Chains A and B, each alone.
Chain A
Amino acid sequence: MNAFAGDELRMKPTEEQTMLRDSAAKYLAEGYSFADREAQIQAGEPFSRPHWAVFADMGWLAMPFPESLDGLGFGASETALLCEELGRALVREPYLETVLLAGGMLQRGGAAEHVSRIMAGEVQAALAVTEPEKQFSLDTVSLSAKPDGEGFILDGEKTVVRNGAVADLFIVLARTAEAGADGSGVTAFLVHRDDPGLVVQGYPTYDDRCAADLRLEQLQVDASRILGEAGRAETLLAPTLRHAVVGMVAESLGCMQALLDDTLEYTRQRKQFGQPLATFQALRHRMTDMFMQLELTRSLLQVTVSQVDQDSDRADTYVAAVKAKSIAAGRFIAQSAIQLHGGIATTNDLRVGHYFKRLAALESALGGRDAHIQRYAQLTGIAKND
């Protein structure tokens, strides 16, 4: 392991945060092995229910929810600490999808009873935004929702809904009005897996998780299924995304840290030309660059976390920045880790390649590189909004 100077750069966590991080790290180090994970994948299990039950017992599933809902009331700082550990241990259980994304929408949309079930580990959930041949964006949502008495009839498709293959609950975004300049016009609906008219086509994903394509055929929902206010999904989505992106970047950071650690360890041991790989200057510089990119991303995440927790005006700018930065850093670090390991990292047997795949799959979640760069440019006035 590397006891590098980066430790000194880190913000001092509170006692509670330290406990949380240490207990997560300890449990995952002892109870979450790469070999078991691979055996479950081979057996076709989309995630481990026993692990999920432990996550509930540890309180992880209740962390981001307010105490008024019997949650732990933690902020982005704490979820980031947990997600970093989940990333480092290559956890494939859908914390991001069920708890931060779908759970975040349910909580903000006033669906307390479903939040309770998520906290208890009883249900899996998924947020369905993206539609075929479109990238993630609220603006391009076009799934139709036609008023029908007190309720609506939903009709259309969603694609690559992460965790969708196992989700019991879906938060489906549908267009109920023309897009307003304030982002209004989209409504968030709660759809149950067994609702008549819902067709779920599930499949595995490259990061050994699952997703689904949804087809909603004349699916009837009553008004109780509307989360928050009709036509105002953006008021739920914006704060949910801020917290979820923070969690996602923290998870990426955990992956990057593991990749750097593994690469340092491997190049110290592996000898070619009679000496450890770690003595070759070209490789030393590459690993130094990996370390620098990791710590730069970590710093930006820390500032972003506090901006989000303070609900600052600049939070969205930082969120866009840190997502773009983590994609660039993640690519460089993951690609370098494979390059420096050589052929052995292109096999299924080493965990290096699995971190690589997880980072690649996370890139496009909640909007990709170019989308976040463009968003940053708009929020900072580099690009003029017209």
Chain B
Amino acid sequence: MKEFKTQTYQNLLKSSGGVTRENLFGFLGKVQDAFGYVPREVVCDLAIRTGLSEARIYGALTSYTDFKVKVEAGG
């Protein structure tokens, strides 16, 4: 489990060429793979970038077994 680092996140954003609704799902996956979970700060930031509500993104995220929204013990 890696610590959430703003710099790593910024790099992810850069390498993906920005985030829109079109590539949001794939991008969330990259965040998950980079940190082992999708941090709350990221959900908040992506909501602003895509114009979707935080609740909408969070609700979708938590319906997938392979997405985590917090650091899990032993993960």
A, B: real partners: no
